[in-house]
Amino acid sequence: MYKKLEELIPGRARSAIRSVCYELADGRDFLLGRRDRLTPPRRLQVVIGGGDFKRAGQKFLRLFAELGGLRPDHRVLDVGCGVGRMAIPLTGFLSAQGSYDGFDVVPECVEWCQEKIASAYPNFHFLTADLFNEMYNPRGTCNARDFVFPYPSQSFDFVYLTSVFTHTLPEDTEHFVSEIARVLRTGGRCFATFFLLNADSEKLIKAGESSIDFAHAIEGCRLQDVEVPEHAVAYEEDHVRSLLAKHGLKLKEPIYFGRWCGRKEFTVYQDIVISEKESGAEC
């Protein structure tokens, strides 16, 4: 009912009402001592999705370390850093020998990270990537498939992408994988989340158990919404395995499957794929 009522309100008015609600909630949290310097305003948190902002960051930090082998002295790259959901917990994890770099397509989110995080932690750096993205940066001037990560080759020990490949189309996805392989040192690891299609997930989709049905097939992937292709993108598991191998990234078994398709046993919502740059890989 509330959703239908909301649709009756003009777009600009709806946006203004939401902004006021976010500000009121932020003010309440501040008065109750629930909001500190490294908690972004809600209007920025919702840009990257809902959920418990701090809890999600802490959970993924644990997974980075336990599943991905992240260490305090590692040089870390965050592809799609948002408003610092994953970066903030790393401020208490990385040592002075470690470092963090992150980039994102949403300028306001990057500016907040620069002001609040980088100003207090000199080994943390954030950049805005002027990439076109229909959902997050429709005014971007560069296509993802042409974007060269602004870092030298073999710069990082650990690269992670949470909810990035779930919003990129095939050509962009392959280009990002090639760039990840380039900036990773030999033996470095990539931690990435996907929506993976395989026998198990397909069975659950057909049974109506999945939260997303990915009913629209295009070349190389399946989509939730053909009108906004990047809203949610799924790839065949075998395709992802082949793509990683093509660029010298060895998949570290097992894949940690998520609950998006209705699995009863899962790690997080999306599927986690961890790979390692092999010796002699050409990038």
| DSSP assignment string, 130-191 | -B-BTTTBTT--B-GGGPPPSS-TT-EEEEEESSSTTS--HHHHHHHHHHHHHHEEEEEEEE
Q: Which residues contact 108 (CB under 8 A, 6 or more apart)?
A: 44, 47
CA 179 to mean position of chain CA atoms? 16
Q: Is the pLDDT of residue 237 over 60?
A: yes
Average pLDDT over residues 139-167: 93
Q: Residue 58 has what pLDDT?
A: 96
pLDDT digit string (tens) for 90-136? Answer: 999 999 999 999 999 999 999 999 999 999 999 999 999 988 877 67
Helix 237-246 vs helix 170-183: crossing angle, to nearest 10? 40
Q: CB 157: neighbour CB atoms within 10 A?
A: 21
Q: CB 145: neighbour CB atoms within 10 A?
A: 15
In the chain, what's the furthest Cα-to-Cα distance?
Answer: 59
More confident call, 56 vs 132? 56
Dihedral, CA of residue 271, residue 277, residue 278 and residue 279, to nearest 10: -170
Q: Residue 14 has what pLDDT?
A: 37
Average pLDDT over residues 58-80: 98
Q: Residue 37 has what pLDDT?
A: 78
Q: Is the pLDDT of residue 282 over 80?
A: no
Distance CA 43, CA 3 (A): 19
Q: Is the pLDDT of residue 13 over 70?
A: no
Percent of the chain having pLDDT more than 70? 84
Phi, psi angles (nearest 5°) of residue 185: -75, 160
Q: Residue 11 has what pLDDT?
A: 45
Q: Residue 33 has what pLDDT?
A: 62
